[in-house]
Amino acid sequence: MNKETIRNRIEQIGIIPAIRFSSAEDALFAVKAVSDGGIPIAEVTMTISGALGVISELARNKPELIVGAGTVLDIETASRCLDAGAKFLTSTGLDLQIVEFAVKQNVVVLPGALTPSEIMAAWKAGADFVKVFPCSVLGGVSYIKSLKSPFPHIPLIASGGVTQQTAADFILAGAAGVGIGRDLINPEAVRRREPDWIRELVERFLQIVKDARSRRATS
């Protein structure tokens, strides 16, 4: 898949599952359950023990999956993630060097940003999306709505505080998509190895996003 295909697929689905578990085994189980449920995207965070191995295994065994690297904090880590097979990079905060590196490598990048200045800088540097994190601390849905007024052309991914109760509101406020962790991938479901539990949540969130987009298109 080329960069344009990956970017379009992320925008089309509108949900980026954040995989944050202590073990590689838990992470792999979570990714498989999410993918089987209908979201072929996974942000494997660098906080996972053996994260690079997880990315490598997924890239090798599930080529249809858009596996990305999350919580990337420096260029060295970014480079190692791409070598492992990551198809996109995302960071918790804004590091323009990482954005510029991804642009040079022709890889989709979703830098984290919070303030209007950071969002502007990320977009000017070549970001494909800007992940507003943690958006809940600055008003959540109302903050995304406020940002879309001056930045209608920038695709924002709302991350931090997205739940079943708020996901539709983030989309209606103008978010291009949402980043979701434990509210999509219930830790207890992973601990008990219950993929159906996760698949049910995946299907629910997909329907929420689809319905909200339909409402936004007709409003």
What three-state secondary structure class fits 188? helix
| Measured torsion, CA atoms of residues 159, 160, 161, 166, in degrees rounded to the nearest 10 | 0
Which ranges of the chain would DSSP assign to H, the alpha helix?
A: 3-13, 24-37, 51-61, 75-84, 96-105, 116-125, 141-148, 167-172, 187-191, 195-218
Q: Coil, helix or strand for 150?
A: coil
**Of 25, 43, 124, 145, which residue is the catalytic one?**
43
Q: What's the burial of 19, exposed, middle or buried (CB within 10 Å: 0-12/13-18/19+)? A: buried
Q: What is the DSSP letter of 93?
A: S
User: Which one is catalytic: 25, 57, 62, 131?
Assistant: 131
Let me know if 131 is a catalytic residue: yes
Spatial strand order in the sheet of 177-180: 108-110, 88-90, 66-70, 41-45, 15-19, 177-180, 156-159, 130-132, 112-113
Is 104 assigned a catalytic role? Answer: no
Q: Where in the sequence numbering do the catalytic residues fall?
A: 43, 131
